[in-house]
């Protein structure tokens, strides 16, 4: 997803469901971590984190989950990303929300075009796909920072168009049935009034 001067044709959407994190470093002196996950398809910077701090300011390329307490938080939260270009890398950060300054607990990446993936994360396709992935995360020193489990579900534009047509047809059929019932009831009332 690159910025450009003219709007690009949507190739589909990528739904990233953040399931859970395991074995995150404990950051707070008292109590549990207050974790949230930040996901982007552009390199994450301090500016990206600031953009995603508020749900109102999230963009198509930077999104974050709600905050959950624990070192092994369960999120079960879906983030939707429109896909205009072939996606290459998913950047992930897990943060601990604090009153004064949030702490980066772990970060990781998933190379969607890696040859080892055998094209299973191809977003330049007309085929729908769904994969569960466990990402190895690293702390700021490069040591193991736990894992993050996500589900990636790509829905291409062709499938979305088919679903829209199917929904429109079902909606038209329902409208037709309701109109028949209303007309029938109106006729029945008119006959009673006569």
Number of continuous H segments (helices) and E segments (strands) in the chain: 2, 9
Q: Identify the pLDDT of residue 157.
A: 85
pLDDT band with cut points at 50, 70 and 90 for residue 4: very low
Q: Which two tokens stand for residue 97?
A: 């929300």
The ranges assigned to domains in the chain are 12-156
CATH class of the domain defined by 12-156: mainly beta
User: Quick one: 185 exposed, middle or buried, by C-beta within 10 A (0-12, 13-18, 19+)?
Assistant: exposed
Candidate from 44-53, 112-121, 138-147, 184-193 with smallest mean pLDDT: 44-53
Closest CA to 65 of 131, 18, 123: 18
pLDDT band with cut points at 50, 70 and 90 for residue 32: confident
Q: Identify the pLDDT of residue 126.
A: 83
pLDDT surpasses 80 at 13? yes
Helix (H, G, I), strand (E, B) or coil at 139: coil
Q: Identify the pLDDT of residue 178.
A: 73
pLDDT in tens, 92-117: 999 988 888 888 999 999 988 776 66
Q: Identify the pLDDT of residue 62.
A: 65
Q: Looking at residues 4-25, what average pLDDT do you find?
A: 82
Q: Identify the pLDDT of residue 181.
A: 73
H-helix or E-strand spanning residue 105 = strand 103-111
Across 54-63, 119-128, 171-180, which has the greatest mean pLDDT? Answer: 119-128
Helix (H, G, I), strand (E, B) or coil at 118: coil
pLDDT in tens, 36-51: 999 988 876 555 555 4
pLDDT band with cut points at 50, 70 and 90 for residue 190: low
Q: How far is CA 117 from CA 111, 114, 122, 123, 131, in A?
A: 9, 5, 9, 13, 11
Mean pLDDT rounded to a whole number for the chain: 79
pLDDT band with cut points at 50, 70 and 90 for residue 184: confident
User: Quick one: 21 exposed, middle or buried, by C-beta within 10 A (0-12, 13-18, 19+)?
Assistant: buried
Q: Identify the pLDDT of residue 1.
A: 47
User: 87-109 burial, b if ≥16 CB within 10 A, otherwise e?
Assistant: beebbbbbbbbeeeebbbbbbbe
């Amino acid at each position: 997803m690159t910025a450009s001067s003219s709007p690009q044709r949507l190739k589909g959407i990528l739904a990233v469901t953040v399931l859970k994190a395991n074995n995150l470093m404990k950051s707070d002196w008292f109590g549990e971590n207050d974790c949230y996950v930040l996901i982007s398809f552009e390199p994450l910077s301090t500016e990206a984190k600031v953009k995603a701090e508020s749900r109102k300011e999230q963009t198509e390329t930077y999104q974050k989950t709600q905050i959950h307490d624990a070192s092994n938080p369960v999120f079960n939260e879906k983030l939707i990303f429109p896909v205009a270009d072939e996606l290459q890398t998913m950047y992930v950060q897990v943060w601990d929300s604090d009153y004064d300054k949030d702490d980066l607990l772990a970060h990781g990446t998933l190379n969607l075009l890696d040859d080892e993936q055998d094209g299973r994360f191809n977003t330049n396709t007309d085929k729908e796909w769904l994969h569960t992935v466990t990402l190895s995360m690293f702390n700021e020193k490069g040591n193991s920072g736990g894992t993050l489990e996500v589900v990636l579900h790509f829905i291409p534009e062709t499938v979305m168009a088919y679903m829209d047509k199917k929904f429109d047809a079902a909606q038209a059929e329902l409208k037709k049935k309701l109109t028949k019932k209303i007309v029938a009831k109106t006729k029945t009332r008119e006959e009673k009034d006569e």
